[in-house]
Amino acid sequence: MKCKFLSVAALVLLGAVSSAAAQSEAEFVSAFAGEWRIFDESFAQGAQICRITLGQEAQEGHYKLDKATCAGELANIATWGIVNGQMALFASGGEPVVSLGGSQRRMTGTTKSGRPVIIERAGTVGAAEQLQAAAKASGCYYLGFSNRCAAPADLSSPATGTADKPVRIKVIVNLNARMEARDDASVIGVVPANSCVTASVCVTASDGAWCRAQFGDRTGWLRKAAIRKNRWPIVTFVNQCDN
């Protein structure tokens, strides 16, 4: 299916009911209906990832939603719809669980407890497939811009930190920090190579780990696995920092 990448902002619903608003909602629902997946273990049942199917049939004032092997805060989601121009997933009682923004390929948001959510369209070719192809051709992921292969552990997400003992990671390349955990999100700054930064939370997506980190007076999302010059798969930061 050809992706239109409709702008969520362009589909904001008006408070007054009108044919234009109804048409915008219909377009939104048609564009985003289908199968989605969440790879982060916080929302998975064991080794089974959370799978969500967004339907187009009206249900309880929203739209039909089917789920499989979803856990945590998403265990009770039952419908979906639009709130203030963003996609929202609702619990069986009708209360919103998470609001999401993004494109037809990846949506990001945060639950009521503050846990980040990344949902990805099933069946689309994106960064994960590009990384897998590059790694197969190269034989490994490289540590930054070096010629050394990263160990399997270097690709894993950092351990969960605490308020008293936050996780410190070392960025080993000049790395873009983005507003959200997706490649089409705005770049809010660049973390210089060999910098140690504090990671407040990390999540797993199909293209590996993403961490929200504090650098200077800003906070942004850092992607751990990337492709250099459209050819070499690299690890952009390591899970510990000695500084």
Last residue of a domain, one of 121, 138, 157: 121
Residue type, 60: E
- In tens digits, what is the pLDDT along the chain, a chain of 243 residues? 333 334 443 343 333 333 445 558 888 899 999 999 999 999 999 889 999 999 999 998 899 999 999 999 999 999 999 988 889 999 999 999 999 999 999 999 999 899 999 999 998 777 888 999 999 999 999 999 999 999 988 999 888 766 677 789 999 999 999 999 999 999 999 999 999 999 989 999 999 999 999 998 999 999 999 999 889 999 999 998 876
Contact present, 91 and 76 (Cβ < 8 Å): yes
Last residue of a domain, one of 87, 121, 155: 121
Backbone dihedral angles phi then psi of residue 76, each to the nearest 5 degrees: -110, 10
| pLDDT at residue number 25 | 86
Q: What is the pTM of this model?
A: 0.85
| pLDDT at residue number 127 | 85
List Cα–Cα distances, 74 to 88, 117, 221, in angstroms.
12, 10, 22
Domain assignment of residue 81, given as a range: 9-121
| pLDDT at residue number 243 | 65
Pair of tokens at residue 182: 């997706």
**C-alpha closest to that of 109 among 125, 122, 120:** 120
CA 37 – CA 24 distance, rounded (Å): 25
DSSP state of 16: S
> Do 30 and 97 lie in a common domain?
yes
- Tell me if 243 is assigned to some domain: no
Domain total in the chain: 2
**Domain CATH for 88:** 2.40.128.10
> Do 141 and 196 lie in a common domain?
yes
| pLDDT at residue number 182 | 93
| pLDDT at residue number 1 | 37
- Tell me if 1 is assigned to some domain: no
Contact present, 115 and 101 (Cβ < 8 Å): no
| pLDDT at residue number 6 | 42
Residue type, 113: S
Task: Give the residues across from 56 on adjacent strands.
Answer: none
